Amino acid sequence: MSFPLFVRWLLWPFSFLFGVFVRMRAWCYRVGILAAKSLRQPVISVGNLTIGGTGKTPLVLWLAQRLQAQGKRVGILSRGYRGGGRATWPGASKASSKEIPSDEVRLLAGRLRLPIGVGANRYRTALAMEPEKIEVFLLDDGFQHLRLARDLDIVLVDATNPFGGGWLLPAGPLREPHSALSRADIVVITRSEHALAVETLVRRHSSAPIFYAQTRLAAVLERSQPSPGGRTVDAQVHRYLAFCGIGNPRAFRDDLSRWGIKVLGSTFFRDHHRYTQREADQLERLAAAMGADGLLCTEKDVFNLEGVNFKSLPVHFCRIDMNLNNVEAFLSIVRETLNRSAARTPK
């Protein structure tokens, strides 16, 4: 989200009122005027301060995989895009967009094969998942969902645009003021290996341990139907037109450059964009005019290409993982959190 400065000033009164509201809401939860509901299982929240992409989904994937490797029965709680959807289970990646409207939920379900609950009220959704015998819940994009108590708050900060210039919604991308970082138990600075200036900003409001994370290219796959992905391809031999509809498209373009993939041009759409056949035809014409021999998008985009056919060029997508520094220290904090929760939970 980026508005001209004069537009931001026009929107500033609304941002001021929004800031008053979110501060009062957080204060009400902090002093007990509003009560957060607690689950029997430990809850680990992964969230951020801004709208748009900071790497939450890759980190949820990364953390869920490691908890599963430790033998934990993991469940994910997600609001879904615009709060739409219903509780769903493994295999959701094959469901239609009408059944599960969230591209991120379908991506998580396809990669993890674990129970995922979708709904605006995460507490009720978790209760509906009791038959799944969940041992630990991951609260996806949960930093602002104060209605549900959590045992660990992980907050992501994008090193390339940490706080969106400091403007709250609707003038800027901030969901909460910087001071909300005081609630964080862990801060993960994404898209960087070292960002002293960002650390300094974080330290003004938080003493939480800071970690760094970058996206890593796991594979480039061909898009196939009806399943979202097919065989692995060698991206280094192709010349692509890149396109995406994600929260931070610039980060995708920068990642492609860092991974050494040859991109002749790029086209961006709004986050969660559902592609039409007309747009697919336009992308193919644009790619052909550039001399590209393929189209390249993110894994999330694949779920928004449902029912769309590309006639002349192959469509490939990037499957990514998270590369976190000081992994053992990070997982040690997670283990300590789970141990504390187990000690207080009645058998």
**Residue 87 has what pLDDT?**
52
pTM: 0.92
- Give tens-digit pLDDT for 296-314: 999 999 999 999 999 999 9
For the chain, what percent of residues have pLDDT higher than 90? 81
Q: Among 5, 11, 21, which residue's Cα sits nearest to residue 175?
A: 21
CATH of 5-213+324-344, one of 3.40.50.300, 3.40.50.360, 3.40.50.150, 3.30.1330.10: 3.40.50.300
**Residue 345 has what pLDDT?**
66
**Residue 224 has what pLDDT?**
81
- Give tens-digit pLDDT for 221-274: 999 865 566 799 999 999 999 999 998 999 999 999 999 999 999 999 999 999
Residue 92 has pLDDT above 50, yes or no: no
DSSP string, 262-323: -EEEEEE--TTPPP-HHHHHHHHHHHHHHT-SEEEEEHHHHTT-TT---SSS-EEEEEEEEE
**Residue 3 has what pLDDT?**
84
**Residue 230 has what pLDDT?**
78
For the chain, what percent of residues have pLDDT higher than 70? 91
Domain locations along the chain: 5-213+324-344, 234-313
**Residue 93 has what pLDDT?**
41
Amino acid making up residue 258: R
252-261 contacts at long range (C-beta below 8 A, 24 or more positions apart): 252/298, 252/318, 254/160, 254/191, 255/215, 255/217, 255/318, 255/320, 256/296, 256/318, 259/217, 259/235, 260/236, 261/220, 261/235, 261/236, 261/296
- Give tens-digit pLDDT for 193-216: 889 999 999 999 999 999 999 999
Question: How high does pLDDT run on average in the chain?
Answer: 92
More confident of the two residues 52 and 182: 182
